[in-house]
């Protein structure tokens, strides 16, 4: 299950998860000022176990362009207003694997709500492989593997419109209307909002 972050308490929980994962992996911390949506994955026992963040993408200005030529890609250049960046996909060590489908569902939900056609990202090679093999996502590599802020990453383009226009092809996808309601927690709403 996933939830949207709605207040300072929720943001504190969100930040505690992704910063713990980043520190464990030796990554540099980078806080975002502007976001379209922040989400947490919640375990069946009610614990917050993972994070995903969608933030605006500004061609030639976003930090991600210093690693790969995202702004020059024809799909992005055609309509940069329908492109966003996915960041802070993080899952606590003891929960690795299972909440990833919830986080991806949150990302699809947010992309559809904002009519985001493409997402760009710098992806850890193991996560890149998992998304292609386990979740059957067609990810387009924008450039070669590069070292960035503590690890090697692969610059990736997600075709989000392809996913949200073909939801039935993705059995892992669970959107808000399909989630079971859970008791309200401070800072987390029952239905995710972008």
Supply the range of the domain harboring residue 162: 2-173
- The 3-state secondary structure of 151-193, one letter per residue: EEEEEEEEEHHHHHCCHHHCCCCCCHHHCCCCCCECCECCCCC
In a domain, 75, yes or no: yes
Per-residue pLDDT, 149: 84
Asked if 154 and 125 count as a contact pair (C-beta separation under 8 A), the reply is yes
* pLDDT recorded at residue 30: 87
**Could you read off the pLDDT of 51-96 as tens digits, one per residue?**
999 999 999 899 999 999 999 999 999 999 999 999 998 888 888 7
Task: Tell me if 52 is assigned to some domain.
Answer: yes
Number of domains comprising the chain: 1
Pairing of strands 48-56, 83-91: antiparallel
Q: In this predicted model, what pLDDT tens digit does every residue of 134-149 receive, in sequence order?
A: 888 989 999 899 998 8
Question: Which residues are 53's β-sheet partners?
Answer: 38, 87
> Do the domain assignments include residue 129?
yes
Q: Judge whether 192 lies within some domain.
A: no
CATH of the domain at 114: 3.40.630.30
Name all contacts of 5-10 with Cβ < 8 Å and 24+ positions apart: 5/38, 5/39, 5/40, 5/187, 5/188, 6/187, 6/188, 6/189, 6/193, 7/186, 7/187, 8/187, 9/186, 9/187, 10/38, 10/40, 10/186, 10/187, 10/188
7-49 pLDDT tens trace: 999 999 999 999 999 898 888 888 888 999 999 999 888 889 9
Contacts of 149 (CB under 8 A, 6+ apart): 27, 28, 30
Domain assignment present for residue 33? The answer is yes
Indicate whether 70 belongs to any domain: yes
In-domain check, residue 181: no
């Amino acid at each position: 299950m996933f939830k949207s972050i709605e207040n300072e308490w929720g943001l504190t929980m969100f930040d505690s998860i992704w910063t713990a994962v980043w520190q464990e992996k030796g990554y540099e911390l980078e806080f975002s000022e502007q976001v379209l949506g922040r989400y947490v994955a919640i375990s069946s026992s009610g614990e917050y176990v993972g994070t995903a963040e969608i933030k605006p993408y500004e061609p030639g200005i976003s930090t991600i362009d210093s690693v790969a030529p995202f702004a020059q890609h024809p799909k992005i250049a055609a309509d940069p207003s329908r492109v966003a960046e996915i960041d802070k996909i993080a899952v606590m060590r003891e929960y690795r694997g299972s909440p990833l489908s919830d986080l991806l569902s949150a990302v699809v939900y947010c992309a559809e709500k904002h009519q985001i056609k493409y997402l760009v990202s710098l992806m850890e090679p193991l996560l890149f492989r998992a998304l292609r093999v386990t979740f059957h996502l067609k990810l387009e590599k924008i450039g070669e593997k590069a070292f960035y802020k503590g690890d090697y990453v692969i610059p990736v383009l997600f075709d989000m419109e392809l996913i949200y226009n073909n939801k039935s092809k993705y059995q892992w996808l669970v959107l808000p209307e399909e989630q079971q309601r859970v008791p309200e927690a401070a800072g987390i709403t029952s239905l995710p909002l972008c």
